[in-house]
Amino acid sequence: MTNSEFRYAHHPEDVKRYTTEELRDHFLIPEIFKKDEINLTYTMYDRFIAGGAFPVDKAVKLETIDYLKSENFLDRRELGIINVGGTGKVTVDGEVYELGHKEALYVGQGNKEVIFEKSGNEQPYFYLNSAPAHKAYPTKKVSKKDAEVVELGDSKYCNKRVLNKLIVNSIVETCQLQMGMTELVEGNIWNTMPPHTHSRRMEVYFYFDLEEDQTISHYMGQPQETRHIFLQNHQAVISPEWSIHAGAGTSNYTFIWGMAGENLDYGDMDKVAVNELK
C-alpha cells in the first residue's frame, strides 16, 4: 500500500506568525516508515516527494498516488532511494538491486514497477525522494565507495562531519534530484553551520542514526527570522527555498539531504555568517 499526504508551499511572512504546532504541521514529516507500507509526502515545493518504504513481513510495491494523475508513479518522475537499515532488495522492472546500509539507487523516469523487500534476516529502511523528470536516465546503484566525499567543519566548533554526495550529477545522470548523506563525527552536533539558503532549490532533511532518547533541534526560517523544530530519529523536515536548514543534536547523528529545483549546482548557496543569524 502506498499512502500519501499533501503539503502546500508557504510565504515567509506567513510563517513568521506560525505557532509551534502550525510549524510542525506544515514542515515536519513525522512518520517516514510505516510497517509493510510506503508512506509519502507530496509537497508543492518543486513538487518534491519524500517518504519511506518499510517492508517487514512482506514486499511493498510503489503505487501511483492521486496527486500525480499518472498510470505509474515514475511516468513523469525520477526516484532516489537510500537504505538506512540492513541489506534489502529493490526490483526495478524485473532487475534486482541489492542495497546495503547507506547504499543508494537512482531510478530513472519511465520505469513501471518498483518493489522493495528484505533479502535475508536484516531489516532494510528505504528512504525515498522523488522529483518531476523531463528525461529517462539509466537506473544506477551508488555505494559509499562511489560517493564524492567532502570533510567539513571542525571539532572546535562541534561541527566536524563527512558529507557523501551520492545522487549528484558528477556521479549519476539526474534531471533535478540530488541526494547525499552527511555523517556527524562523534562528539560533534551541528550540521550545516554556517547555514545557507539556495533560492533556486528546495531541500528536505531526514535525520537518522540518532541514539534513542536523544533529539535534534532543526533550524529553519529566513536567516534573520529563524524558528526551530525538534525532531526524533527517522523524521524529516521540509526546507523552503527561502529558508536556512541546519540542526544541532543532543548527540551525533547522520542525515540525508535531498534537493530539487532550478539547477544541479550543489555549490549555488548563499552562506550566512553565524553571528548574523537572528
Binding-site residue set for Zn(2+): 196, 198, 203, 245
Q: Identify which of residues 10 and 200 has a Cβ nearer to ligand LADIRMRS in the complex.
A: 200
Q: Does residue 47 touch ligand LADIRMRS according to CB under 6 A?
A: no
Question: Which helix (H) or strand (E) element contains residue 247?
Answer: strand 246-249
The cell for 172 is 549519476
The least CB distance from residue 161 to ligand LADIRMRS, in Å, is 5
Residue list 251-270, contact with ligand LADIRMRS (CB under 6 A)? 257, 259, 269
Cα–Cα distance measured from residue 206 to residue 258, given in angstroms and rounded to the nearest whole number: 8
Q: Which stretch binds ligand LADIRMRS (CB under 6 A): 16-24, 54-62, 88-96, 190-198?
A: 190-198
Q: Does residue 191 touch ligand LADIRMRS according to CB under 6 A?
A: yes
Q: Spell 233-270 as b/e; 16+ CB within 10 A means b.
A: bbbbbbbbbbbbbbbbbebbbbbbbbbbbeebebeebe
End-to-end Cα spacing for the chain: 43
Q: Which stretch binds ligand LADIRMRS (CB under 6 A): 26-34, 65-73, 191-199, 227-235?
A: 191-199
- x-marked contacts with ligand LADIRMRS along 194-233 as a string, rule CB under 6 A: ----x----x------------------------------
- Name the nearest CA neighbour of 166 among 176, 145, 178, 180: 180
Residues that bind Zn ion (CB under 5 A): 203
Name the residue number minimizing CB distance to ligand LADIRMRS. Answer: 182
Nearest 5°: phi and psi at 231? -125, 155
Tell me which of 182, 188, 197, 243 binds ligand LADIRMRS, using CB under 6 A: 182
- Name the nearest CA neighbour of 253 among 236, 272, 274, 271: 236
Q: Identify which of residues 27 and 116 has a Cβ nearer to ligand LADIRMRS in the complex.
A: 27
Cα torsion 20, 204, 149, 196: sign: negative
- x-marked contacts with ligand LADIRMRS along 127-166 as a string, rule CB under 6 A: -------------------------x--------x-x---
Cα–Cα distance measured from residue 100 to residue 132, given in angstroms and rounded to the nearest whole number: 26
Q: Identify which of residues 28 and 181 has a Cβ nearer to ligand LADIRMRS in the complex.
A: 181
DSSP string, 213-245: T--EEEEEEETTEEEEEEE-TTEEEEE-TTS--
Does residue 177 contact residue 78 with C-beta atoms inside 8 Å? Answer: yes
Binding site members: 196, 198, 203, 245
Contact footprint for ligand LADIRMRS (CB under 6 A) = 152, 161, 163, 180, 182, 191-192, 198, 203, 245, 257, 259, 269
